Amino acid sequence: MNKSTRKSAARSSSGRVKTIDIVNKGLKRRYGKEKRFRFYGLLSIIASAAFLAFLLTSIVSKGYSAFLQTYIKLDVPLEAGMLDKQNPGRSDFQGIIKEAIKDYYPGVTERQDKRELYSLFSSGAAFQLRDEVLNNPSREGSTISLWVLADDDVDMLMKGHIKREVPESQRRLSDKQLRWIERLEKDNRIEKRFNTTFFSAGDSREPELAGIWGAVKGSFYTMLVTLMLSFPIGIAAAVYLEEFAPKNLATDFIEVNINNLAAVPSIVFGLLGLAVFLNFFGMPRSTPLVGGIVLMLMTLPTIIIASRAALKAVPPSIREAALGVGSSKLQVVASHVLPLALPGMLTGTIIGMAQALGETAPLLMIGMVAFIVDIPGGFTDPSAVMPVQIYLWADSPERAFVERTSAAIMVLLAFLISMNAVAVVLRKRFERRW
Amino acid sequence: MSPLLLLLSLLVLSVAGFLIGQRKALNLAGSVGGTSRLHSLPVYYGALTALWCCLPAFFMFLIWLGFEQSIITALMVADLPDEVRALPPARLNVLINDIRSLASGNIVSGEITPLMRNAAAQYISLKGIGQMITSVIVLVAAVAGVLLVHRRIKPELRARNQVENVVMGLLVVCSTIAIFTTIGIVLSILYEAVRFFQQIPVTDFLFGLEWSPQMAIREDQVGSSGAFGAVPVFAGTILISAIAMFVAAPIGLMSAIFLSEYADRRLRAVAKPLLEILAGIPTVVYGFFAALVVAPMIRNSGAQLGIDVSSESALAAGLVMGVMIIPFVSSLSDDVINAVPQTLRDGAYSVGATRSETIMHVLIPAALPGIVGGLLLAVSRAIGETMIVVMAAGLSANLTANPLQAVTTVTVQIVTLLVGDQEFDSPKTLAAFALGLVLFFGTLFLNVIALTVVRKYRERYE
C-alpha cells in the first residue's frame, strides 16, 4: 500500500464520501451496461445472419423442386397415314397425341370431359412427339412409348403444392382429373424426372416449357459487351488519373464525377440509355449491345476506383528503378507497374461484373423486360437477362412459376458466388505486401 | 459487310500494319547498321503503323454507327408519298417504327399496307448501300493509314514519342468518360423533363397532392385526365427510406462497432464474408423475397392482431430494403471507426472507462462526421433503390404516413411509366423523366454532402 491509498483508507474510516466508493458503487451498473452493449452488437450480427439464413433457406426450399418435372408415359400408336408424307414435320402431332390420350381413357366421351383430360398434358407434348418422329423416321406403323411433359397443374399436384384433400372448388384440378391421375399412378405411368427443359429452353407462358437458357445466354452476351468495354476503359482511366494526371481543377472534376457516379441510382443509368442510346442514336431495343453499354457506364466507377487502389499499392521504388535505367514514363507503367497491379485490377473488375450481372433496374428501362421466347444468338438479338427473367417470372400468377423463379435465383446466386470466389482466390494468391 | 465483320477485318489489317511497319524498320536498321541507329525500337514503328491503320478508320465507323439510323430514316421518309408525310408527327412516328420493325422482321403494331412494304424494302436497300459505303470508306482509310506511315518510316522518325502521345491521348479520353456520362445524364433527363414542364407547370408537379398519371389517349376515351402532383410519390419514397434506415442504421452501426471493437479474429472471419454475401445478393432477389415471404408474413400477423395490413405495405418493402442496406452502413462505419486514432481509445481506457463508455463517449463523437456521411450515402441508396419497391411496394399514390398501407415511390413510378409501349410526347412518359430529374438531383445533393463530409473527416486524422 502506498501513501495515497493509505490516506484515502484513513479518510474513509472517518465517514466522509470517497471517490473510490462512488466508483465502486457504480461499477456493477457500468459493467452491466457494458455487457448489454456488447450483447446488442452480437445481436445485430446474429440478426443479419438470421435474415440471410432465412432468405436462403426459403428460396432453396421453394426452388429445389423445380429441378424435377413430372412426366407422363404415353403409348402413341403411329398408324400409317397419320404423318404428312411430303413434310413429316408439319403433321398434326397435336391430334395424334389426343388420339393416344383417348385410347388410354376410352371411357371419356363428353366434350367438356375430353377438354379437361387433354389439359392434363402439356402443349409441349406434341413438340416432343415431333422431335421423336423426325429423329427416327422409320417409326411409322409402330407404337411409340413416350414420356411426355405433364401440365404444370399436374406437376404442382405431384409435388404437393396442390392438395388433394381440399374441396374441389378450391383447387385447380377437378375430382375427375384427380381420378385420371390416380389411374396413371396405379399404372406407374407418371413420375418425376430431372428437368432438362429448365436448363435448355427459353421463356414460355407455360411453366413446364419455360427455361432459363435464353436468359443465361442473354446475360452472357451482355456481360461480354460490358467486360470488353469497361475493362480497358476502366484501366486506362485509372492509369491516367493515378500515374499521369497533373493535380489541377480538371482532374479534380473528373475525380468528383467518378465518385459521384458510383453513388448515382442505377435506374438513372437506364434513363440515360433510353434517352441517348435508344431514342437519340436509334440503337436496337432489348439487345445485349445496349444493355452491355449501359451496365458498362454503371460499373466503370467501381472498376476505376479498385484499379486506382491497386496502382497505388505498387511502391514508388519500382517506378524509380525503371526510370533509372532509361524507360520512358509510359514504358514504366506498361511493363512494370501494370503487371504488378493487374491482379488487384482483375479482382475489382470481377466484383464490378458480379454487380452488373445482378442488376435489373436499368435494363428494364431499355426494354429488356420484353417477353422473348427465342434464344439469342448474338449481340443485336432481342434477349432477356437472368435478373430480368426472375423479375418477369416473379410477376406471373401461376403457382409453378414460383418454384421456377426460386430455381432461377439459385442459378443466379451460384454464378455470383463463384465469381466472388474467383475474386477472393485471385486476391489471396497474388496479393503482395511490399 | 456487317459491323462485326468490318471490325474483325479492321483488326486483321491493323495486325498486318504492325508487322509491315516493324519489318520496314528492321530492314532500315539492317541498312544503316543495327537497331541502335533507329530513333525508337522497331516495335514502335509497327505500333505507329497499326495505330494509323485502325484509329481513323474506327473513328469513321463510330460516326456512321451513331448516325446510321437517323440518316437512313430521313432518306426513307423523303421517299414516302406527300400525303403520308403530312401526317401529324405522332402518327408518322408510329408508321416509321412499324416500317423499321417490318424491315427487321419483327412484329408490327398495325396491319401491313403495300406502302409500308415498299418503304421497308427501300429501308433495307438503303441500309445495305449505307453499309457498303461505310465498309469501303473504313477499309480504304485503314489501308491509306498503313501506306502513309510506311512511307514516313525513316531511322530518324520519332516513332516512340508519337505512339506515346497517341496512347496518352487515349488515356485522357478514357478518363473523361465519367464526365461525359454525367453530362449525358443531366442533358438527357433535363431535355425530356423540360418538355414535360412545358405541358404541366413545375409548381403543379412539385406541390400537387394528386398523382394519377394515366392520361386518356383519345379524346372520347373514358378515364382520368391525368394528375401530376408528385407530393404523394415523394412522401412514399421518404416513408419507405425512413423505415429502411430505421432498420439499417442501428443494426449496421452496431455490427460495425462489434466487429471492429469486440469481435475476435475467428468471429470476424465468419461475420465479414457473411455481410459481404448480404451485400452481393441482387436486389431482384430481395424484391422477390419481400413480395413472396415478408409481405404475407406481416399481413398474416397483422390479421391475427386484428389490424388491417395492405398486402403491399410500405413496412415489408422498407424492412427488406433496410436489410439490404445493413452491409453498406456497416462497411462504411467500419472504415470510419478504424480511422479513429488508437491514442484516443488508450486515453479513455487509461482514465478507467469501460469499452462501451469509450465507444459511446469517445469513438462515436470522434467518428460522427464520418458516420453521418455514411448514413447519408445509405439514405441516397435507399431512395434510389428500385427492384425491391417495384416488386413489393404499391402502385397507387397514397399520401399517408401509415407504414401498414401501400405507398408508391419515385423509382416505382419511373418503371411503371416507362416499361411497355411508349409515346415520347405524352406527359405520361415524360413525367418519368421529371421524376428522374428529381431523383438524380436529390441523390446528387446527398452524395455531394456525404462525400465532402467523409473527405473532411479523413483529412482530420491523416
For A98-122, what is each residue's pLDDT tens digit? 888 888 888 888 888 888 888 888 8
Among B174, B188, B386, select the one facing A237 at the smallest CB separation: B174
Query: Does pLDDT of A283 surpass 90?
Result: no
CB B387 within 8 A of CB B290: no
**Whole-angstrom Cα distance, residue A137 to residue A123?**
22
Are B386 and A359 an interchain contact pair (Cβ–Cβ within 8 Å)?
Answer: no
* Min distance A304 CA to chain B CA atoms (Å): 9
Residues in B touching A41 (Cβ below 8 Å): 254-255, 257-258, 261-262
ipTM for the predicted complex comes to 0.89
Taking chain B (462 residues) in runs of 10, the rounded mean pLDDT of each run is: 84 93 88 83 90 91 81 81 76 76 69 78 85 90 91 87 93 91 92 89 88 64 68 93 95 94 89 89 94 92 87 91 94 89 93 92 90 93 93 85 88 87 72 93 92 81 70
CB-CB contact of A77 with A100 (8 Å): yes
pLDDT given at position A407: 94
pLDDT exceeds 70 at position A22 = yes
What CATH number matches the domain at B227-461, 1.10.3720.10, 3.30.470.30, 1.10.1450.10, 3.30.499.10? 1.10.3720.10
> Residue A12 pLDDT > 60, yes or no?
no
Whether A120 and A143 have beta carbons less than 8 Å apart is answered as: no
CB contacts < 8 A (A, B)? 260
Which pLDDT belongs to residue A14?
54
**In A119-248, which residue ranges form alpha helices assigned H by DSSP?**
125-135, 152-158, 175-186, 196-200, 213-239
Residue A10's pLDDT band, with cuts at 50, 70 and 90, is very low
Residues 6+ apart with CB under 8 A from A233: A296, A300, B174, B177
Residue B101's pLDDT is what?
Answer: 74
Query: What value does the mean pLDDT take over residues A49-59?
Result: 94
d(CA A54, CA A58): 6
Q: CA of A68, closest CA in chain B: separation in Å?
A: 22
**Closest to A295 in 3D by CA, of A214, A231, A218, A222:** A222
Measured between beta carbons, which residues in chain B are less than 8 angstroms from residue A412?
282, 285
Best of B171, B272, B323, B334 to substitute, by most chain A Cβ atoms within 10 angstroms, is: B171
Whole-number pLDDT of residue B459: 74
* Dihedral sign, Cα of residue B54, residue B55, residue B56, residue B60: positive
B313 DSSP assignment = B
Contact A276 B188 (CB under 8 A): yes
Instruction: Show residues of chain A in contact with B451, CB under 8 Å.
Output: 256, 259-260, 263
Say whether residue B423 is in contact with chain A using an 8 A CB cutoff.
no
Q: Which residues of A touch B387 (CB under 8 A)?
A: 360-361, 387, 391
In which residue ranges of chain B is CATH 1.10.3720.10 found? 227-461
Strands (DSSP E) contained in A47-87 are: 68-77
Out of A263, A266, A281, whose CB is closest to B380? A263
Residue numbers in B near A244 (CB within 8 A): 168, 171
DSSP state of B227: E
Provide, as residue numbers in chain B, all residues whose Cβ is less than 8 Å from the Cβ of A34: 354-357
Shortest alpha-carbon distance between residue B52 and chain A (Å): 19
Q: Are A235 and A352 in contact (CB under 8 A)?
A: no
Burial B197-207 (b: 16+ CB within 10 A, else e): beebeeeebee
In the predicted structure, residue A216 carries a pLDDT above the cut 90? yes
* Beta strand ranges found along A17-58 (DSSP E): none
Q: Do B251 and A47 touch (CB under 8 A)?
A: yes
The closest CB to that of B419, out of A41, A364, A416, belongs to A364
Among the partner-chain residues B160, B415, B436, the one whose CB lies closest to the CB of A364 is B415
B387–chain A Cβ distance below 8 A for any pair? yes
Show which of residues 304-363 on chain B sit within 8 Å of chain A, judged by CB atoms: 323, 326-327, 352, 354-357, 359-360
pLDDT over threshold 70, residue A3: no
Task: Identify the pLDDT of residue B15.
Answer: 94
What local confidence, expressed as pLDDT, does residue B220 receive? 54
Three-state DSSP class for residue A1: coil
Measure CB to CB from residue B254 to each of A33, A44, A405 and give the nearest one.
A44
Q: Where are the domains of chain A?
A: 71-194, 213-430
Chain B nearest C-alpha distance from A360 (Å): 7
Closest CA to A124 of A104, A154, A102: A154
Name every chain A residue with its beta carbon within 8 A of the beta carbon of B287.
391, 394
- Residue of A239, A268, A330, A381 to mutate, interface with B, max B Cβ within 10 Å: A268
CB contact under 8 A, A282 and B283: no
Q: Are B240 and B320 a contacting pair, CB within 8 Å?
A: no
Q: What is the pLDDT of residue B462?
A: 66
> In the predicted model, is pLDDT for residue A91 greater than 80?
no
Cell numbers standing for residue B336? 470510419
Scanning B430-459 for CB atoms below 8 A from A yields 432-433, 436, 439-440, 443-444, 447-448, 450-451
Query: A213-430 belongs to which homologous superfamily?
Result: MetI-like (1.10.3720.10)
B59 interfacial to chain A (CB closer than 8 Å): no
